Chain A
Amino acid sequence: MTTLPDQKDAVGFDPVRIGAFGRCLRNPRVLIAGGFLAIIGLLVLLAPWLAPADYRAQIDLPLTNAGVLGTDDFGRDVLSRLIVGVRTSMLVAVLAVLVAGAAGVFLGLVAGFRGGWLSVVIMRGIDILLSFPPIVLAIAAVAILGPELRNVVIVIGILYIPRFTRVVYTQVLSLREAEYVQADRVLGASSTRTMFRTVLPNVTAPIIVQGSLSLSFAVQIEAGLSFLGLGAQPPLPSLGTMVGAGRDFLEVQPSLLIFPAIVIVAIVLALNVVGDGLRDVLDPRRGQS
């Protein structure tokens, strides 16, 4: 006999969806990409212990093949800088997406659930935010606030609020009239409680999909800003600054460009593959037979 999920589970997280994550991992592409991201996650956590040398220290002459991946123009170990660079880029991207997600989900919930003028103001505000190409506004804002990683996190975070708000808003609109949401109200739950305890858990699937895809964009924007010299400041490496530095030595030491380029592409690709995989199983419109 199969056991029924208890009441809390049914409201907390739809068990069908936990199964969906398992189904998603059965796709070999998603499994490989997910495994790679797990390794990147470990790298981020253990970077200070994994890096063979201090990323600021000169270990040999400039542009030699010392160490595993050679040395950069200051004679610093490229492998160590790559490991720390991955950590910088990923931390900025994850923090930015958390900022965007928290603010975006909240605004989407309020706009969808409350409706009325509040929803008009929020959704029009979101439209306006969307009328800036993210990188242009990011450059202007970071240039004015100062090229600091904290500012990069805030700016990317704000720029990606609309994606979450829109997704949550449309979902909430369709859920608002659902029977179990109405039932919650009839039972006397406050609207804040209904919003966060009943509606929010049922819109987690699109939020997760949006989160993984936004992470891939955030990695790219951070790297782009750092490439232009507006993100991580020397001596701290990020994947973008390393590509930027590699560009200056194309003829002498192309490996300075190639290694960080491969790592960025691999991370972005893995995030996109996982995002697509999650969407395929979580989005009911996409052939979840």
Chain B
Amino acid sequence: MRTFLARRAGLALIQLFVVGTIVFLLARLIPGDPARAVLGDNATEDQVAQVRELMNLDAPQWEQYFGFWGNLLRGDLGVSLISGRTVLEDLPVRMGNSLELVLLALALAMAIGIPLGRLAATKANKAIDHIVTGGAILGISLPVFVLGTLLLLVLGVWWPVLPPERFVSFAEDPLTHLRVLLLPVLTLTAASTAVVARMTRSAMLETLSADYVRTARAKGLREKHVVRRHALRAAMLPIVSVSSVELTTLIGSTVLVESIFGWPGMSSLLMNAVTVRDYPVIQAVVLATATIVIVVNLIADITVRALDPRAESV
């Protein structure tokens, strides 16, 4: 286990290093002069020189690269070219807002998806199984931005139970906050629930036909006990793995969902930065999301390893 931990953490560090390098290169891939790209064609030479200075573009390439890492390690994510504020002033709050959506959606998806998948597996090929699998394939086929906009139409316009409201933080007004939260979380949850239910079903179908489950049944254990203690527990490994993958998907999907519902998370930060070509902010958001994903995968891999009874002997 210790060598596994060391190897896995080492891999995460290498991933972070490469991700950082890619993010550094992203801004250097801009065709032409990046400073000119930020300011547009009408900018004066003085303005361009000023932005070049801000982006540290006049130093030699290697110096820029080491400077980039030096700043990162000191926790300096740069300064927005547009607002002049440091990225760290905005990023943590936005990240918190995004993670609120993502984590709630994932928790809901697991709370609904695992029981549904288990139900479908124990009633394989019965009507309920067909309903769950059919619903699941429909769920994964609904792109988040389509579902989000449709929900906005149905629950906001046609049957206005959840009319669009301005975002309020939980501290300001908890009830309104939860009401505003509902539609984005619902939108995010749908596809993930489908994925978790499908994975649970197929993992449990496999464990339900395994020898140790047959043994458990032969011992005369009650079916409920067999399903819960033997089949579902063994099926948890792939479910945990798929959930960590789902988290990555959810972090991506929030970008679209936040933009539909006006949720002030990382997405609006990213999208605003994209429209005005605020490269330091774009870099910081990409770096932050990739870091979250790398850390989540690290935790998931360790959890799977810890849950896997076979891992110790291998």
Contacts and interface: CB of A to CB of B under 8 A. Distances in A.
Contact of A224 (B27, B31, B256): B256
Which of A124, A131, A144, A243 gathers the greatest number of chain B CB atoms within 10 Å?
A131
Interface in A111-135: 124, 127-128, 130-135
Interface string B280-310: 0011011001100110010000000000000
B11 A124 contact: yes
Contacts of B11: 124, 127
A220 interface: yes
Helix, strand, loop or mixed for chain A's interface? helix
B61 interface: no
Interface string B111-149: 000000000000000000000000001101111111001
B143 A224 contact: yes
Helix, strand, loop or mixed for chain B's interface? helix
Given A132-B286, A133-B251, A133-B252, A144 B30 contact: yes
A42 B288 CA distance: 43
A176 B285 CA distance: 42
Interface of B: 11, 14-15, 18-19, 26-27, 29-31, 137-138, 140-146, 149-150, 152-153, 156-158, 248-249, 251-253, 255-256, 259-260, 270-271, 274, 277, 279, 282-283, 285-286, 289-290, 293-294, 297
Interface of A: 124, 127-128, 130-137, 139-141, 143-146, 216, 220, 223-224, 227-228, 230, 240, 243-244, 246-247, 250-251, 254, 257-258, 261, 264-265, 268-269, 272-273, 276
Given A139-B255, A243-B145, 14 more contacts: A128-B14, A131-B297, A132-B19, A133-B252, A136-B252, A136-B270, A140-B270, A143-B274, A220-B143, A223-B146, A261-B146, A264-B146, A265-B142, A273-B137
28 contacts: A128-B19, A130-B248, A132-B286, A132-B290, A132-B293, A133-B252, A135-B256, A136-B255, A136-B285, A137-B290, A140-B26, A141-B26, A144-B27, A145-B31, A146-B31, A224-B144, A243-B145, A246-B149, A250-B153, A250-B156, A250-B157, A251-B157, A254-B158, A257-B149, A261-B146, A261-B149, A268-B141, A272-B137
